Amino acid sequence: MEKVALNEQPLNQKQIARLAFSNPWHYLSCGLGSGLLPRMPGTWGSLIAIPFFYVFNKLPLWQYGILLIITFAVGVALCGYSEKAFRKKDHSSIVWDEMVGMWITLCHAPFRLDVLIVGFILFRIFDIFKPWPINWLQKHLPGGWGVMADDAAAGIAAWVLLQLWIVII
């Protein structure tokens, strides 16, 4: 797997937006454009995942699980591809990983406002602060694997706490 050319200057937001709106793969990795917003792209990427969750949550658990595996695998390729093009490791505009992390967090949870809010907050806490081993995954796995694995781990940690919260409430 090729490493990102860190010796090259990363693309600026205008260049990334031009790429994202001219290439469907970059558009997907940028969360349908949500990662191009000027502030808090990861938060916007996490929020854009919720309407998709509404549809995904109607699937039986085994199909939802397969969907998570597929979206993770697609994300490894997508995010690695965009990371190389944007010339920066885990560029903030790449938010497909946040979308998949949210789908993991909310996996088969009831579609209720309180659950969505708690799940969103839990995922963002784990994604932003990246406690060990989440931070290790991001730092040590190459390309799209590093981009995706830390958010998947954050999603799993948030899912465990969300399930506990659902049982208690």
Q: What is the residue extent of each domain of the chain?
A: 13-168
pLDDT digits (tens, 9 = 90+) for 104-123: 999 999 999 999 999 999 99
Q: Is the dihedral of CA 130, 131, 136, 141 positive or negative?
A: negative
Instruction: Name the nearest CA neighbour of 100 among 161, 31, 38, 162.
Output: 31
pLDDT at position 4: 46
Question: Phi and psi for 9 in degrees, rounded to 5?
Answer: -65, 130
| Global pTM value | 0.92
pLDDT at position 20: 84
Instruction: Name the nearest CA neighbour of 120 among 110, 106, 109, 138.
Output: 106
pLDDT digits (tens, 9 = 90+) for 75-102: 999 999 999 998 888 888 899 999 999 9
- Alpha carbons 77 and 81: distance in angstroms, whole number: 6
pLDDT at position 1: 40
Residues (pLDDT < 70) of the chain are 1-7
- Alpha carbons 155 and 5: distance in angstroms, whole number: 29
